[in-house]
Structure 1
Amino acid sequence: MRHFLRPSLLVCLLLALPQNTLADSYPTPAAIKAARAADALGEQLEEMGYAVAPLTRMRSGHLVAEVKINGSEPMRFVCDSGSGATLITPQTSQRLQLQSEDTGSTAAGVGGQGLQVDSAEISSFQIGGKALPMEVILVVDISHVNAQFVVAGEQPIEGIIGSDWMKAHQVLLDVAHGRMFFKPI
């Protein structure tokens, strides 16, 4: 026995479909204008010698860039202008087989006080496909930060891009479009 859909049943099925139409997914004129302005800004910055690195946003709002140290696999680094220094975790230092040395200093950050600060020698810091010379990176235990990320359902980070690196590379963050512009000096 063959069953055919009746026209009235077909109309009911179509009406039951979500009201998200293709037209709803088209960008608004304002969004198109903003995208064009962002593209023009990006082109102008690249003409001025800036490189660009993509950023992703965590649910917490933190911006994350992929970084490679000494040619490593990509690692997650939070961009944190409130951090005075660029750093990696002790676990990252061990995984990269870096030799850490105690600096004799301590650091305090959000949720952590009296954190031991070590340093490690590195040969390159790669971001946005650009390998940049960098001789030393700090090694600080930020497990208290990663614990909060994990509780929030996020992946832990391997390091932080701090204001020292941002200043040295004249970083401009395009938060709306998820990208970081920097001078590869």
Structure 2
Amino acid sequence: MQHRGHQSTDGTDGGELTVPMAWLYAEYIADELLRTGDLMPPTSFEFRAGRDALALTIFLSDADGELSGIRVVTQLETWLSLTAYDQPWQGWVRERMAQLAAAEAESGRPSVDLELAAAAWRWLEETELLAPDLDAVPGGGALPDEDEGPKVWTPAWQLGLPLGHLAIHLF
């Protein structure tokens, strides 16, 4: 049985595995932003949802493929606008993923970065987390304690996106 890996990063097919630098860098930035914000324990599913939503935003907003060379501070406003409450983030992610998949198909070279981003997106869409039901909070009343009040199953991306947005604000 012969093992055939992805093309190496220099474009030659030496049977070497490609290192998904763009995705790993996006994930690293997202992780650091969330840890700096100290919004929740890094071992929680909520943290993962925030990290994956933010990493997708970072990765997919890199239209020129220069993620490893970007400066985080210059991109914060872009990421804030993409993750804002009134933006169609889910549709934007689907559109960008489709564009990248089409470009990958056209080039004939698989992208390990895109594979990891697609796996994160599937997890965010298919996983539901139990979260406080913010729609059930009486008008003008205080938010219930996290352990009190009604809870609803929420898609992970709907919980992670505002966490990522808040982490950017706190940076």
TM-score, with structure 2 as normaliser: 0.26
Which is richer in strand? 1
Greater radius of gyration (CA):
1
Greater percentage in helix: 2
Query: RCO (CA 8 Å, sep 6+): is it higher in 1 or 2?
Result: 2
What TM-score, normalized to structure 1?
Answer: 0.24
